[in-house]
Amino acid sequence: MRTGTATIPLDTGKCPYWLFERMKRLSRGIILAIREEFGPEEILRRLSDPAWFQSLGCVIGFDWNSSGLTTTTLGALKEGIRGIESEVGLFICGGKGKTSKKTPEQIQNWGEFLKIPQERIDKIVYASRISAKVDTSCLQDGFQIYHHNLIFSKSGDWTVVQQGMNKSLQKARRYHWLSSTIQETYGKLDFIEEPHSGIISDVRKKHLNLTAEESKKNKEISAGLAKEEPKNFLRDISFVLEKSDSLMRQKRTQNFAEMELNNTEFNWHPVVQEKFDLKRLKKTIDKIHFLQPDDFEQLLSLEGVGPKTIRALSLVAELIYGAKPSYDDPARYSFAHGGKDGTPYSVDRSNYDKTIEILEKGIRKSHTSIREKAEAQKRLLNNFNKS
């Protein structure tokens, strides 16, 4: 997974009209330059790179350390190519708040307009929905998704850029996906194991991470638990909650761990302060049992299965059956092009120069004044000098 870093505190207010209009023109020129040189798939790849995306937002003029960089950059891109989507070969769906919920509808509308086969449209719609589910329920990092964009090409390739907020921390976190980097398992894309092209955040902490390879066994048992008789699972989750303050004693056999818990070894564990509405949980488990999902991804995709259901299943899988999930944060600190001292890696000069060249070409092609172009080029150089 590519890594990137930025401080992105939550920001309020709106982008001024005069600035947004200029951002639209400049982003349009940059996108057209990349399209002309490399094609639409390369635009998708670059948008899926957290560091490149951050640089683009800086170049077109938004605050480098604001959560608004994500929402405003994507808004400017969407408006900047409005009317020339077919020429560019890219179609931007979704947005912030209520607009994000219209993403599947917008994908469907574009698909019908372009006469894309319905099977391909359905796959893109599914990618939009499952990526949002994964970053809400598989990655329980405390950031609530409030912005979701899916950008796709006629060939069916796509990238997702979505952002979550943590109001208590006053921080935002951005998640990037790219269809061509998602691994295939048994002939289909695997959306639940290491699926991201990058996650950008300056806040890292322990949290439930079911996208990690280390969580595979936990997911398998969770899916199995959901398909069994609901009374068995409810008995197990009740046991875990009742024993959360007891002394811990552990007996292990090959595939089984019998635990009594206390707050000493597991003082960081979510079971200590977890609150479940068991009546509501029972309704969800009854529904899952009736539908009998084939695997964890199908379980996750079911309507009504949210973070609490997944967390409850994961807790039982871990604390009763010994299948420990990962609690490592997949977000990482890094630099866009390496560092002069070799940290975290040496500067890739050819990649560095190519990025500058592409952005400069976009600036030259944009329909902005000479002064605005000069200011954009200055921001570009300042941004890369920080790298």
pLDDT digits (tens, 9 = 90+) for 225-263: 999 999 999 999 888 877 654 533 444 444 434 444 444
pLDDT score of 101 more than 90: yes
Residue 174: predicted pLDDT: 92
* The two structure tokens encoding residue 256: 């089984």
Average pLDDT value for residue range 358-384: 64
Name 93's bridge partners: 150
Please give the radius of gyration of the chain, using alpha carbons only, rounded to the nearest integer.
23
Residue 52: predicted pLDDT: 85
Report pTM: 0.80
pLDDT score of 333 more than 70: no
Q: How far apart (Å, rounded) are the C-alpha atoms in residues 375 and 61?
A: 9
Write the CB contacts of 52 (distance below 8 Å, at least 6 apart in sequence): 46, 336, 355
What phi, psi does 306 have (nearest 5°)? -120, -165
Residue 2 near residue 198 (C-beta atoms within 8 A): yes
Lowest average pLDDT, out of 47-61, 114-128, 186-200, 276-290, goes to 47-61
Residue 58: predicted pLDDT: 78
pLDDT score of 146 more than 90: yes
Q: How far apart (Å, rounded) are the C-alpha atoms in residues 285 and 265?
A: 30
Query: What is the percent of the chain with per-residue pLDDT over 70, rounded to a whole number?
Result: 72
Nearest to 384 by CA among 23, 27, 62, 52: 52
What Cα–Cα distance (Å) separates residue 59 from each residue in 23, 53, 55, 73, 359? 9, 10, 6, 10, 8
What Cα–Cα distance (Å) separates residue 101 from each residue in 98, 107, 150, 155? 5, 11, 11, 24
